[in-house]
Amino acid sequence: MTLVERFLKYVSFDTQSSDESGVTPSTGKQMVFARYLKTELEQLGLEEIELDDYGYLYATLPANTDRAVPTVGFIAHMDTSPDCSGADVRPRIVENYDGSDIVLNASEGIVLSPGQFPELLDHCGEDLIVTDGTTLLGADDKAGIAEIVSAMAWFKAHPEVEHGRIRVGFNPDEEIGLGAHKFDVEKFGCEFAYTMDGSEVGELEFENFNAAGAKFTIKGRNVHPGYAKGKMINSMLVANHLMSLVPADETPATTEGYEGFYHLVGLQGEVEQTTLSYIIRDHDRARFEERKQFMASLVEQLNAHYGEPLVSLEMKDQYYNMREKIEPVVYVIDIAKQAISEAGITPVVKAIRGGTDGAQLSFKGLPCPNIFAGGLNFHGRYEFVPIQSMEKAMQVVVKIAELVAKR
């Protein structure tokens, strides 16, 4: 099976995670995909294959050298984002892309255009896998899984290429911030690892946001509208008041680079009760703490304004900036840079405006920078991945294993 065939097979599985279930994996359909992957790894001849009850899949490609070589790991997540449907994905390949608009869905007028997504023009002449405009694609992170599995298949087909022990790990629930929570670092048994979960070709990342989730619950008081004066409290209007207090110029749509933000990701309401869900992000740890304090201060401010305790807040940290854990072992970055260069790509070291499982794993004792998987426009119907980018990412996995053996 080729890399592209693997990827197209993988995206046929609906693996959307859910932050509402409270179990791991958060959806049973992720386990269906995990069982399929387990069977494929068995057929490839990998060893020490284990799928645990939480949907974490581990496997080993044994070393083919007697020399002492560090064990390196490669990790990708199986779930797709709750932001857009991942059911019945219908990908197609646009060969030799010419720089024009790509009609994803003519009946619904959905077009992937370089006018809106100028990064398309960086991939003229390449072969793009796109959606039909009704679902996401799932390159985040099934491209990463396909690249890792294909690299293991390449090593099996090329026993003459020396490598040490390689561990692969595929986990659920990354998209809801829980991918690394039950990842067994001790069992994985690596000195360092890499997540294949980045975007544009060449990307290498070892800085990410500090992240927290904040859920406001607002209680209202419903009274017949004909007799409501001085009695009714419409929780949705209180929610609107709260939203007006959050800085309008500190959202994902108004920030870039190292700038943090507040992002409203969910709103459910009626007169009696409304809930608002935000995510809080900042690369700077001190500024991150200030942002959390600001959100907490809104509760006191609004309750004082309305004269009763209408607003409550549940807030919890999700992950932290991995930079402080990677800098003491900077050689793992040097290896990745060299591997990317040897694959014929210019390394692009940048901070992630998001997070990866590698951030949490780094804080659990497994240094784990992030490498590009090749996809773009994640989490929506305009997602696409150039085949040539996936091929380059697979080459980087191979090169890293080779370099570790040489070092």
What is 110-146 written as a DSSP string? Answer: EEE-TTT-GGGGGGTTS-EEE--SSS---HHHHHHHH
193 Cβ contact list (under 8 Å, min separation 6): 72, 73, 74, 75, 167, 169, 358, 361, 366, 367, 368
- Give the integer Cα–Cα distance in Å for 232 and 351: 47
Residue 352 is predicted with a pLDDT of 86
Give the three-class secondary structure for 281.
strand
Q: What pLDDT tens digit does each residue of the chain (407 aa) get? A: 999 999 999 999 999 999 888 999 999 999 999 999 999 999 999 999 999 999 999 999 999 999 999 999 999 999 999 999 999 999 999 999 999 999 999 999 999 999 999 999 999 999 999 999 999 999 999 999 999 999 999 999 999 999 999 999 999 999 998 999 999 999 999 999 999 999 999 999 999 999 999 999 999 999 999 999 999 999 999 999 999 999 999 999 999 999 999 999 999 999 999 999 999 999 999 999 999 999 999 999 999 999 999 999 999 998 899 998 999 999 999 999 999 999 999 999 988 888 788 989 999 999 999 999 999 999 999 999 999 999 999 999 999 999 999 98
- Give the integer Cα–Cα distance in Å for 295 and 98: 47
Which domains are assigned to the chain? 3-208+321-406 (3.40.630.10), 210-319 (3.30.70.360)
Amino acid, res. 313:
L
Catalytic amino acids? Answer: 79, 174
Q: Considering only CA atoms, which of 313, 281, 289, 19 is closest in space to residue 172?
A: 19
The Cα-based distances of 157 to 5, 23, 150, 161, 166 in angstroms read 17, 39, 10, 10, 15
Instruction: Specify the DSSP class assigned to residue 83.
Output: T
- Give the integer Cα–Cα distance in Å for 214 and 195: 27
Strands of the 210-219 sheet, one edge to the other = 261-269, 273-282, 210-219, 311-319
Residues 405, 344: contact at Cβ < 8 Å?
Answer: no
Q: What pTM was estimated for this model as a whole?
A: 0.86
Tokens of 38: 């387990």
Residue 19 is predicted with a pLDDT of 87
